Structure 1
Amino acid sequence: MKDKNQMQLSQQNDQYDLIVVGAGLAGLTVALEVASHKKIAILAKRQLTEAATAWAQGGIVGVLDKKDSFESHIGDTLEAGAGIVSESTARYIAENSFNAIEWLVEQGVEFTTDPEGPLGLHLTREGGHTHRRIAHAADATGKAIHDALLAKVKNHPNIDLLEHWIALDLITNRHLVQKPNKDYKKSIQKDQCLGVYALDIKENKVKTLTADAVVLATGGVGKVYKYTTNPDTSTGDGIAMAWRAGCRVGNMEFMQFHPTCLYHPEERSFLITEALRGEGGQLKLPDGTRFMADHDERMELAPRDIVARAIDFEIKKHGLEYVLLDATHLGADFLKEHFPTIYAKCLSVGIDITKQAIPVVPAAHYTCGGVVTDLNGQTDLPHLYSVGEATCTGLHGANRLASNSLLECVVIGKSTAKKILEEHQSSIPLVKQWDDSQVEDADELVVISHNWDELRSLMWNYVGIVRTTRRLERALHRIEFLKTEVDEYYSNFKVNRDLIELRNLLDCAELIVRSALARKESRGLHYNRDYPDTFAVSYPTILTPVRKKDGIKVAEEA
């Protein structure tokens, strides 16, 4: 895209060995494993504590019990993933789960203990799992993990924490000076990642950060939907940047909706962990009737997509605003001990879960697709890696198995770090500085807020739990119009965080819709009323970008 935000030639930039975009579990794992050998910058676009990791309640998978097995965990992952999980990826993740839990314990994570449990840990069970294999820290596992790793990172001399910085785009060979000398030409590949352009939000200035390698650990894209359990950081930044830089993106039609988000006007993003159902919580209609037996023989322990669609069905069938999750029969002492966060949060809005059922609705929760990578986090672009929810490693397939995500962050994070330590760039060529001297301050910010609201509403209404081809086509048409409007705005005005995030959300929304249109069946998290059947054999949806004069286009859909 040609715009007035052109680059000027300059050698002034901040150079690192590694730039990690995102400060969640995946990014922190890479940073901690690399920091003894390299100088690192970690970019966090809000406060360091606002990563999605800290919001994870349930836990992390660990095949620790002698009664459990790798094969059982792999089987559960394959079953949940509805036929398009990479078995080799699932095996790699499962076989490294013990080491991942052990590594987290070494970092100071304080899991809930059980003197008789493996590694002295208490293990719980969640939907889709055939064994108790979820290590947890009460019902705030993500926060316990994130706090422990952040403490390590903050005290490491080789790590710069750039809080309130947001990446705009990746620096690639397209951003080199126009006529590099012969030595530069010999030292660079056809295309590679050389760093990021990033906005220092507090200074309101875009800066050039170059590095031997860049890791995208930006999380998912839940904020593209009106209702989500995700934090405000989940705007698909890494997925959009990688796509614009020429990387393939996979399985974006598989957006996981968490079945049980607290329904309350004061708390619109608080999820009720799946572990509550794993321990015996029951889903009921307002009149007290249980309904999951009508949808799946596993009832409340069915995978999330089935439970979410069941709740959506019952809400629409009976004209309800919510259903109830009843755990009162588990006993007050048990609930207060194992689910203190949920107990306290619900109590703060007038719901005593020891005496009352919890009103719940589904909400967008996890992005099962993302940037296509191998098991070392390597993307299609040399020196660019991606880890965590921003990626498509093949682990989640058409539906993520509960608590596999935190495990993937650690296992792939560690393998990515190992790969980065084995490789380095011979030199960083001269790149162009960001120059916004020819653009103006935004005249009316209402354009951004209005388009943001419109996008999230149309995605919720047209590209939600249940889809139709006509709805998807309408959504795509409107997204294309909004993209044109935002691109024009981006070209003429100085950037800010809201504009950057909206631009990324629109790119990701288009990827979700195009992926959904490409799948002529219903599978896992993707349900299309026009194609309700499931093929006997199916494959991942891979979108490949091609650069044209008027922007990035889809080259192929497979």
Structure 2
Amino acid sequence: MLTPLPLPRRYLVGFDPRELPHHFADVVVIGGGIAGLRAALGFPKSLRVLVVTKDQIRESNSQYAQGGIAGVMDPEDRLDNHIADTLAAGKGLCDPDIVDLVVREAPERIHELIGWGTHFDTVDGRVALGREGGHSHARIVHALGDETGREIMRAIIHQVRSRSNVRIWQNCATVDLLTHEDRCRGVLVWDKRRGFAMVWARAVILTTGGAGQLYRETTNPPIATADGHAMAYRAGVELRDMEFMQFHPTVLYMAGSARHLLTEALRGEGAFLRDCNGFRFMPERHPLAELAPRDSVSLAIAAQMAATRHPNVYLDMTHLDPEFIRNRFPGIDRLCRSFDLDITRDPIPVCPGAHYMIGGVTVDSHGRSSMPGLWAAGEVSSSGLHGANRLASNSLLEGLVFGARAAEDVTERLDREGAWQLEVPPISASTPHEHRTPIDLDDLRKSLRALMWRRMGITRDASGLADAALQVDRWCRYILPHVFDDPGGWAIQNMLTVARLMIAAADERTESRGVHSRADFPETDPAWQRHVTMQAQVVRIGGS
């Protein structure tokens, strides 16, 4: 187990419980994506649930999901096929029992969404099924063509808002987990209107999403700053597989604009990848060509970009039926038209971008973390489903399954524990007040993202990782001890913390496996068919 990053203190900010307002809930859910909201829907009306979201509740990675949810819905498909595809993509690091569990629950979770009012696309009265890279069959349910996440989140948010036992705090930053006697007791939160507050709970479910903002090129929205990974690490919770960041192969590459995901379903429907010379290179790179798993496609694109010295490759749909393409992908059609691109006639410039954080809080089949009182689900967790490379459209599925399982487990535990005696543990934290040179957070954030893209990107090597570790350590030495009083400062501290953990894990794994590609160790080593775990030595402050 690695302990690569010493912490200057346990909590990001100082606090005295005598000076702060206190709130109480049976369960606090941190994060408003699909995993968090599915968890919130899993509790009986007798339990008071508080959902805390960093931004508006509709702002999450789940909202922007284009492809869909993988599940065996076709009579010609089999559960064993989905299981085999997931295991193959995971390159030896999936937990077979978890894969079996999740795949078998998939149809039930999809029908549950339909029952809650999700309008999936249909053909002849049956749910339409698409195919994506790494899948042996068409099994991806989708909505509004390529806006599945938006439709699912619309339906699930409506359900959450109809539950009288669920409260939602939007635009509220969770600063840290509150722990006492090696148990999670609640969270420290902040919002612009109310300032700091302490929320005490019988159970906390961490569903804060990913870490894509650590990279210059990413599909993730601005909120994806690895907050949950960092606060769990500060609390002494075990993290696992932090070297595995999945890069989506096809991100719209238009200089000067934000990056936009172009779903894998485009290639599932027959789109080709060509380089700047018009050469279709994927058939030479992988037997499945454009339908290879994401790690293989991203590596192939990166290699072709390097060989042609061109900043991108191109998606080609000009050979496909124009009417079908426009109807199947209306969101992408609108997006590309805004850049004066016609997806039925023009090659679309794309490059890989950081997409999905596979590593995270180690959890069991019920979402339990290594710390009593803390559960985790979705992208912030490491459940064993994805292994070293996530199979396309398994992420929304994982959020649904583990959100539901965590809620079920928490409910059973609270029932066994009986009535809750309201109490405030003797937790406090002091921080030094130092006068330091003002820090340009925007400049630091850009520098970190550029460094991670260069040194911790699609390929890594020992020299680059050493350089990245040296630079991030320098930043950590003067940024982590600093006491900030706003979310921008806390976000950069979280990003630096998690960047350092990722670099350490990548340096430790001296092989190439899945999304972790080492130029200096290009082969997969059977001796490395194991996880890299890490856990901080918790700094004790006051009564914490």
TM normalised by structure 1 equals 0.91
1:229 touches 1:271 (CA, 8 Å); kept in 2? yes
Q: Percent identity?
A: 36
Aligned to 1:185: none
Distance 2:177 2:469 in 1: 26
Map 1:25-424 onto structure 2 (within 5 A).
Answer: 25-34=34-43, 36-115=45-124, 120-137=126-143, 138-173=145-180, 190-203=181-194, 205-424=195-414
1:467 touches 1:527 (CA, 8 Å); kept in 2? yes
Structure 1 residue 263: deviation in Å? Answer: 0.7
Query: Residue 455 of structure 2: which of 450, 462, 465 is its match?
Result: 462
Unaligned runs of 5+ in 2: 1-7
Matched, 1:453 2:460: no
Corresponding pairs, count: 526
Distance 1:45 1:474 in 2: 33
2:248 touches 2:352 (CA, 8 Å); kept in 1? yes
Map 1:422-437 onto structure 2 (within 5 A).
Answer: 422-424=412-414, 426-431=420-425
2:45 touches 2:164 (CA, 8 Å); kept in 1? no
Query: Residue 25 of structure 2: which of 12, 16, 39 is its match?
Result: 16
Distance 1:169 1:399 in 2: 29
Structure 1 residue 209: deviation in Å? Answer: 0.7
Show CA shifts across 1:20-43 (max 9, x none). Answer: 110000000000111523111111
Distance 1:340 1:4 in 2: 44
Distance 1:40 1:243 in 2: 24
Distance 2:127 2:433 in 1: 57
SS at match of 2:384: coil
Distance 1:26 1:430 in 2: 28
1:18 touches 1:213 (CA, 8 Å); kept in 2? yes
Aligned to 2:469: 476
Aligned to 1:539: 530
2:246 touches 2:357 (CA, 8 Å); kept in 1? yes
2:200 touches 2:424 (CA, 8 Å); kept in 1? no
SS at match of 1:37: coil
Q: Say which is worse superposed, 477-486 or 291-300, in terms of deviation.
A: 477-486
1:207 touches 1:433 (CA, 8 Å); kept in 2? no
Query: Residue 6 of structure 1: which of 7, 11, 14 is its match?
Result: 14
SS at match of 1:96: helix
Distance 1:386 1:453 in 2: 29
CA shift in 2, pair 1:441/1:273, >3 Å: farther
Aligned to 1:180: none
CA shift in 2, pair 1:495/1:73, >3 Å: same
Distance 1:489 1:287 in 2: 50
SS at match of 2:16: strand
1:296 touches 1:302 (CA, 8 Å); kept in 2? yes
SS at match of 2:480: helix
Show CA shifts across 1:73-118 (max 9, x none). Answer: 11100100011111001000011011010111111111001226xx
Distance 1:242 1:428 in 2: 24
2:12 touches 2:175 (CA, 8 Å); kept in 1? no
Structure 1 residue 433: deviation in Å? Answer: 7.2
SS at match of 2:199: strand
SS at match of 2:512: coil
Structure 1 residue 12: deviation in Å? Answer: 4.3
Unaligned runs of 5+ in 1: 174-189, 551-558
SS at match of 1:545: coil
Show CA shifts across 1:449-478 (max 9, x none). Answer: 222121111111111001111111111121
SS at match of 2:459: coil
Distance 2:153 2:508 in 1: 37
Which amino acid in structure 1 is aligned with residue 474 of structure 2? Answer: F
Distance 1:5 1:343 in 2: 46
1:282 touches 1:327 (CA, 8 Å); kept in 2? yes
1:246 touches 1:547 (CA, 8 Å); kept in 2? yes
RMSD: 2.0
SS at match of 2:520: coil
1:166 touches 1:201 (CA, 8 Å); kept in 2? no
1:194 touches 1:428 (CA, 8 Å); kept in 2? no
Show CA shifts across 1:208-257 (max 9, x none). Answer: 11111111100010101111000111111111111111111111111100
CA shift in 2, pair 1:9/1:233, >3 Å: closer
Distance 1:327 1:521 in 2: 36
1:4 touches 1:436 (CA, 8 Å); kept in 2? no
Distance 2:534 2:267 in 1: 36
Structure 1 residue 6: deviation in Å? Answer: 3.1
SS at match of 1:194: strand
1:207 touches 1:434 (CA, 8 Å); kept in 2? no
